[in-house]
Amino acid sequence: MTRRARSRVPHRSLVRPTGRGALAIVLAPLLLLGAEVTGLTLLHYLASALLVALGLSGLMILLSGAGLDLERRVRADAVRAGGAVDVEMRLAPTALFARVPLGRGVVRAYLPGALGDHGDLPLAPSMPHSLVVHRRGVHELGPCGILVRDVLGLFHLRRIVPAPAQVIGLPAVEEIDLVLAQRLGRAVGDSASAGHRAQGEPGPIARVYVPGDDIRRMHWKASARTGRLMTREDEPATSVNALIVLDTRAPAGPFPPALEEAIGRAQDRAVDHAATALLALRGQGYDVTVLDASGDRIVAAGREHPLSASGATSAFGAPGRSGRYGTTGEADGSDGIAHHGAQADAIAAHTALLALAAVGFGDTEHHRDPHQGSPGPVAVALAIGAGDGEAFADLDLDRFAGSAPRRLALAVLPEPRPGHGPADVEVTGGGARGSWRRVEAGHEASLREILRAVADAGAGAAR
């Protein structure tokens, strides 16, 4: 169902003569004057005809404006960026023009750039059309201008009507399959379903020292190795929490228009990767929380239903025999449970994508979940940002990651580095437990390609 937004644009109408009408208004009194001076009856007839035409045109244009209004509704207003939405637009039932066409006209829709700017539609009782959603985000449809010209073409009416509606461009989620989900697990941690230690078998790990930590638990070897004070902490026995941190800070500008567009493209790509990772980690059995750069929670999504995760739903909740993580198997006596679990998973995934669609970079007024902070002991930590040398700058990622044993920081580059292509991936660091593995990727690199490069780098470091 389309959520109708309030609009402050009032109904404004303006009636004025066309060029032809202005000429008739000037000629009519001149012809009357000429008829009085010369006594020619023909001039009097011509002047009378012009005055009658002006009167009829004025009456028709006024009647055309009677009850003139638009109703606009967007069907399935949330679509993946790059997709199209169907818009139903029609004249209001109160519009006389819908029943008695007293002229011709167009509807000019003023749209944001992400929907193609403005466009014209021939004025008719019903005007269905489609809009391509070029960018991620919540896009308010602007007001509409109705332009009507009477049959004789002497006057035209211009009316601005709000017709509020909105379209949501969802992040572009990659196809989620078992291979991609396992790669993500290997890149940033073990699977929640099989990779954690059993209860009562915690292991010591090192994390960055924070004021208040017990000085007796200082990890001197890790401190010497990293050059930073580190403290010893017992790894939680079990953890099914995964954390995704989006660096939502706006880079310092201003920038040339071309670079501004490239930065926006990289930011959208970073959100795409976050959405793909969220769905993949949910399918691996993790409770996933997404935070912004200030630590506010954007969305929290619980793990998938254990039966539906085997393939009861597609990435957007459509039922099918072949699902995200392999071919659907028969669950003896549990079809109903799987069905309800699949519905719940689809709702949870859609809610998460809606929250990520609304993420604004540098938007401090954006509404967030009132619950803030990390979800507790974290098994998987993934940081994603956009920018060349600015992603994660002055951002203490360790305070988000907690005791996560493996961590991945992914920076999406607005423009490729010299000698690199827009789909190239470069992996650095991250060999030690509890350290960040940093990845720089072009905006055209898919998450599958990024994770493959991370896996290859890990295999090379192991050798």
CATH number at residue 118: 2.60.40.740
Q: 190 and 119 share a domain? A: no
- Please say whether the beta carbons of 373 and 295 come within 8 A: yes
pLDDT at 257: 87
Lowest mean pLDDT among 176-180, 363-367, 389-393: 363-367
Query: 10: helix, coil or strand?
Result: coil
Q: Where are the beta strands (DSSP E) in 36-154?
A: 70-75, 78-80, 84-91, 103-109, 119-122, 129-132, 137-141, 144-150
pLDDT tens-digit profile of 79-132?
Answer: 999 899 999 999 999 999 888 888 899 999 989 888 888 889 999 999 999 999
> Residues 300, 414: one domain?
yes
Residue 405: the pLDDT is: 77
Q: Distance (Å, rounded) from C-alpha 154 to C-alpha 53? A: 8
pLDDT value, residue 237: 45
Last residue of a domain, one of 130, 150, 168: 168
Percent of residues, the chain, with pLDDT higher than 70:
75
Same domain, 295 and 439: yes
State whether 94 and 191 are in the same domain: no
**How do residues 309-363 score in pLDDT, each as one tens digit?**
444 333 333 333 333 323 333 344 445 555 566 777 888 888 999 999 999 888 6
Domain of 429, in residue numbers? 178-196+239-462
**pLDDT tens for each residue of 177-230:** 666 666 666 666 544 444 443 333 344 566 677 676 777 788 888 788 777 788
- Residue 217 in any domain: the answer is no
The first and second tokens of residue 193, run together, are: 């379903």
DSSP reduced 3-state for 293: coil
Residue 229 lies in a domain: no
Same domain, 159 and 306: no
Same domain, 71 and 115: yes
In a domain? residue 404: yes
Please give the Cα distance from 124 to 103 (Å, whole number).
Answer: 11
> What distance in Å separates the CA atoms of residue 416 and residue 205, rounded to the nearest whole number?
36
In a domain, 212, yes or no: no
Q: How far is CA 62 from the centre of its chain?
A: 43
Residue 333: half-sphere exposure toward Cβ, Cα within 13 Å: 0
The total of structural domains in the chain comes to: 2
In a domain, 301, yes or no: yes
Q: Please indicate, yes or no, whether residues 288 and 317 belong to a single structural domain of this protein.
A: yes
Mean pLDDT across the stretch 63-69? 90
Cα 176 from Cα 84, distance rounded (Å): 22
244 in the same domain as 109: no
Residue at which a domain ends, from 168, 187, 218: 168
Long-range contacts of 450-455 (CB under 8 A, 24+ apart): 450/273, 450/410, 450/425, 451/180, 451/183, 451/184, 451/187, 452/183, 453/425, 453/426, 453/427, 454/183, 454/187, 454/408, 454/427, 455/183, 455/186, 455/187
pLDDT in tens, 447-460: 988 888 887 876 65
Considering the domain architecture, whether residues 244 and 346 belong to the same structural domain is answered as yes
pLDDT at residue 389 greater than cutoff 70 = no
The pLDDT of 61-66, averaged and rounded, is: 91
Q: Find out whether 384 and 408 touch, Cβ atoms under 8 Å.
A: no
139 CB-near residues (< 8 Å, 6+ apart): 111, 112, 114, 115, 133, 166, 167, 168, 169
- So what's the pLDDT on residue 7? 40
Mean of pLDDT over the chain: 79
Q: Are residues 364 and 324 in the same domain?
A: yes
End-to-end CA distance of the chain: 55
Query: Is residue 209 one of the residues assigned to a domain?
Result: no
Q: Tell me: the pLDDT tens digits for 396-414?
A: 888 888 777 778 899 999 9
% residues pLDDT > 90 (the chain): 35
Q: Are 189 and 292 within one domain?
A: yes
Q: Helices 257-283 and 335-357 meet at what angle, rounded to 10?
A: 160
Segment 258-282 mean pLDDT: 91
**Is residue 366 classed as helix, strand or coil in its secondary structure?**
coil
**Are residues 333 and 274 part of one domain?**
yes
Is 365's pLDDT higher than 70? no
- Predicted pLDDT at 336: 56
Residue 230 lies in a domain: no
For residue 420, is it within any domain? Answer: yes
Greatest Cα pair distance, the chain, in angstroms, is 117
- Which stretch of 58-62, 178-182, 254-258 has the lowest confidence by average pLDDT? 178-182
